[in-house]
Chain A
Amino acid sequence: QKEVEQNSGPLSVPEGAIASLNCTYSDRGSQSFFWYRQYSGKSPELIMSIYSNGDKEDGRFTAQLNKASQYVSLLIRDSQPSDSATYLCAVTSGLTGGGNKLTFGTGTQLKVEL
């Protein structure tokens, strides 16, 4: 079982719609959760971090965390063509001394169509 799982996509949404990206993780002790955006040929860019159950909003982005279900999601409202990228879910180890290592999912490719 993969430690962090994401649907590879591509997920296609029309411009202006809400894009919903999902991620599940296997380590129940995981403490910190992140969403990164990666454009083709570029390095990841941090979009959101979330540490407690519930929703966290930042502009057009909302991260949702449900530790009981081991599930984290990212909603992008009013999707724009510039949002087209691969979105990586990352989780830090729940192990003591894990050193805040990030474990990445394989990413979901999002395409926002005109």
Chain B
Amino acid sequence: GAVVSQHPSWVICKSGTSVKIECRSLDFQATTMFWYRQFPKQSLMLMATSNEGSKATYEQGVEKDKFLINHASLTLSTLTVTSAHPEDSSFYICSARGDRDFNEQFFGPGTRLTVL
């Protein structure tokens, strides 16, 4: 149980294009999903908290117009990186809060974004 998938696992794009990353909870309903970013040799940094049916809550310093989050159903949240630039290249990881223990978060496998 508590399996989270992400798609794509990696993506390479040109500067200025937009990239959409999907996060799905496969065997449970996730009312809350989280989006993280991790740069090499650094820890995970929370970007935003996504609640089903409502606007995402962004952490300080994260541009909401650049990182668009949609959580339209209890099993799917998407992160769109708009007008991507090389400095957006990173490892993006989503997590979903479990439905049995609301304190536990289960992570997707991550998406490695490279912007040329």
Q: Which A residues form the contact surface with B (CB < 8 A)? A: 31-32, 34, 36, 42-46, 49, 51, 88, 92, 99-107
Distance in angstroms from A45 CB to nearest chain B CB is 7
Q: Which residue of B lies closest to A45 (CB)?
A: B107
Interface-lining segment among B12-20, B40-48, B61-69, B78-86: B40-48
* A-B pairs with beta carbons under 8 A, tally: 49
A-B contact pairs, 11 of them (CB 8 A): A34-B104, A43-B110, A46-B105, A99-B32, A99-B49, A99-B57, A100-B97, A102-B34, A102-B105, A103-B46, A106-B43
Q: A46-B107, A49-B101, A102-B34 are in contact. List 8 more A-B contacts (CB 8 A).
A: A36-B107, A46-B105, A51-B103, A88-B44, A100-B103, A101-B34, A101-B49, A105-B43
Q: Interface residue count for B (Cβ, 8 Å)?
A: 21
B46 pairs with A102, CB closer than 8 A:
yes
Q: Which residue of A lies closest to B4 (CB)?
A: A43
B93 lies within 8 A of chain A by Cβ: yes
* CB-CB under 8 A for A42 and B109, given A101-B49, A106-B43: yes
